[in-house]
Amino acid sequence: MSIFIKNIKKLVNVREAAPSAPLRGEEMLSLPCLDGAWLLTEGDRISRLGRMQDLQPEELEALELAADEVIDAEGRMVFPSYCDSHTHLVYAGSREMEFMDKLRGLSYQEIARRGGGILNSVELLHNTPEDDLLQQTLVRAWEIISLGTGAVEIKSGYGLTVEDEVKMLRAARRVEEETPLRVRTTFLGAHAVPARYKGNREGYVDEIVREIMPAVAAEGLADYVDIFVEEGFFTVEDASRIFEAAAKYGMVPKVHANQMSFSGGVQVGVRYGAASVDHLEFTGPEEFRVLQGSGTIATLLPGATFFLDMDYPKAKEMLEYDLPLAIASNYNPGSCPSGDMKFMMALAMIKMRLTPETVLNAATVNGAFAMGVASGYGSITPGKKASLFITKKIPSYEFVPYSFTSQLIENIILNGKIYG
């Protein structure tokens, strides 16, 4: 199938060649665009693009006649699909009563100590068959597609047993089979200590390394391995042990790092070559220097910071240290029940004073790098996947994060096919 999109007001994040590395520091302030453009997809790839004014009448006619679909995008803009590099999309049920507990003054940690939080989701997931779990997840998957996401990372971590972690990751893999989303999966067995190991965290880490991880690896269910390094959850030493075990299976590290305290999560992530360290509310010059020059991306999750009513990461200082930033949703039932990347970008602008250019790069190019799909996603580049969306008529690309509750998408194209 081929699609010819003509009279595009602005092609956003157009790059002649796919970036070879994440954008850093001042690079993130630049958002290359093409005004008055056209774009051709062939199969599942972007084939060609250019300016309308450079097309001769006979060339325009030939493109229109040859295409299977022609879209007149006059007054509208074309963006690359968002790349959401941190989600917990596979879960069962909901946790709105904990939302009420937060309003009554309980902290995230207090709710967890009472058996709520992650362990609440663990119980719900344990009692949900895989097919039912998948159906619940597919509702959320099609929701984020409608909001502009084309590639997504999905973590386990609500299983905490061999059977349930495998069930989660199988469901995550099936999302890619059932939808046009590009899915990358992460084994997050070290998300919380299950009730059966209360007071024996080390025993549970033993089970992760000796039983759960090998079972996940045997079915090829995980691209990455993650751990929640935080007081009351897991330690830097636990992370070292898990990462060393995961290396035998080719799982690349990621870290839930420095969300509630200066936990050492950033440092251990960089030491083991993590693709990203995520959250980062408690970071400063020491962490920034560790990240500086490393290959690890600093991933911001402003939706969780907003929902938990915490202080936001020092994102502008991170840019001053020439760090690469990504923005992700952290879509999950407890601390961010939303996968709306436009809202995440708006929060990053309002609360962290980032520019529109920076947040758009963080949600596309760098998000793609943070989950290893940058060769095919994250920018409008010939040869990359034809995964993009066409807006309604809007005045500027700044209008997208500015109008943070409005549905601005008119057409979605994923893998060269039109959805809506």
Taking every pair of Cα atoms in the chain, the longest distance, rounded to a whole number of angstroms, is: 75
Of residues 371, 239, 262, 378, the one with CA closest to residue 314: 262
Q: How do residues 9-53 score in pLDDT, each as one tens digit?
A: 999 999 999 889 999 999 999 999 999 999 999 999 999 999 999
Strand 149-155 with 82-84, pairing: parallel
Burial label for 404, CB within 10 Å (0-12, 13-18, 19+), is middle
Task: Provide the pLDDT for residue 349.
Answer: 98
Q: How far apart, in whole angstroms, are the C-alpha atoms of residue 283 and residue 105?
A: 25
- DSSP letter string, 251-315: PEEEEEESSSS--SHHHHHHHTT-SEEEE-SS--HHHHHHHTTSS-EEEE-HHHHHHTT-PPP-H
Give the dihedral of Cα atoms 129, 330, 360, 288; nearest 10 deg.
Answer: -140
Residue type, 309: D
Q: Rounded mean pLDDT of 341-354?
A: 98
Q: Is 99 helix (H, G, I), strand (E, B) or coil?
A: helix
The domains of the chain, with CATH numbers, are: 2-81+379-419 (2.30.40.10), 83-370 (3.20.20.140)
CA–CA distance, 174 with 155 (Å, rounded to integer): 13
DSSP tag of 28: G
List phi, psi (to 5°) of 373. -125, 20
Task: Name the residue with tokens 């309002």.
Answer: 350
**Nearest Cα to 170, choosing from 218, 242, 226, 207?**
218
Round to whole Å and give the CA distance between 176 and 274.
24
pLDDT at 85: 98
In contact, 219 and 170? CB cutoff 8 Å: yes
Distance CA 372, CA 211 (A): 27
Q: What is the pLDDT of residues 375-415, one digit of tens each?
A: 999 999 999 999 999 999 999 999 999 999 999 999 999 99
Whole-model pTM? 0.97
The conformation of residue 149, written as its DSSP 8-state character, comes to E
Token match 């708006």: residue? 346
Q: Does residue 420 carry a pLDDT above 90?
A: no
Number of other CB atoms surrounding residue 27 within 10 Å: 17
Residue 289: pLDDT above 90?
A: yes
Mean pLDDT within 265-284: 98
Predicted pLDDT at 101: 80
Average pLDDT of the residues of the chain: 96
pLDDT given for residue 18 in this prediction: 87
Please tell me the number of Cα atoms within 13 Å of 353 on its side-chain side: 5
Residue 167 scores a pLDDT above 80: yes
Q: What's the pLDDT tens digit per position in 71-124? A: 999 999 999 999 999 999 999 999 888 888 878 888 877 877 776 788 999 999
